[in-house]
Amino acid sequence: MAIPRGRIVKRKDQLPHWQAGGSAYHIDFNCRPFDLSAGEREIVIEIVRKGDELFFDLLLGCVMPDHVHLLLRPREEVPDHFHDLARIRKGIKGASARLINLRRKRCGPFWQDEGYDRIIRNHAEYGETFTYILNNPVAAGLCASPEDYPFMILARDELRW
């Protein structure tokens, strides 16, 4: 389902999920009770890159050992109707889970069922979210500065906001 510009679509699983056509979002999702290896984090980055500029415009991403943060804006599917955020998240989670499960020689669910998503309402909130994602590996003690973290996914065009 394409989301029309300016229309708010509300979904309810365990958490409420709202999508407004044309908006940017902070989404994150968690692994089930295990961590991602460096190679598995690279698989997630590869899958995100494949969707970037096709289904969404990536603004920033960070693949942590047990969860993923993405700041993105769904692209237009047809004029003034945008790709569904739920389908974008499902595509990233499904494709990465399949490849990671193959690598681990296992089957079954890999990611937790639901994830978090938030509509970015203004430029200030965009800046706060960008800074939060950028500093997440530093806050977790994985590196001294964001530039040192190898699993950061930077936008191809930094001026997308």
Tell me the average confidence (pLDDT) per consecutive run of 10 residues in the chain, 161 residues long: 61 60 91 92 97 94 97 92 91 96 93 87 93 97 96 72 44
- Of 36, 18, 35, nearest to 27 by C-alpha is 18
CATH topology of domain 3-154: Alpha-Beta Plaits (3.30.70)
Q: How far apart are CA 97 and CA 70, in angstroms?
A: 17
Instruction: Please give the Cα distance from 104 to 126 (Å, whole number).
Output: 36
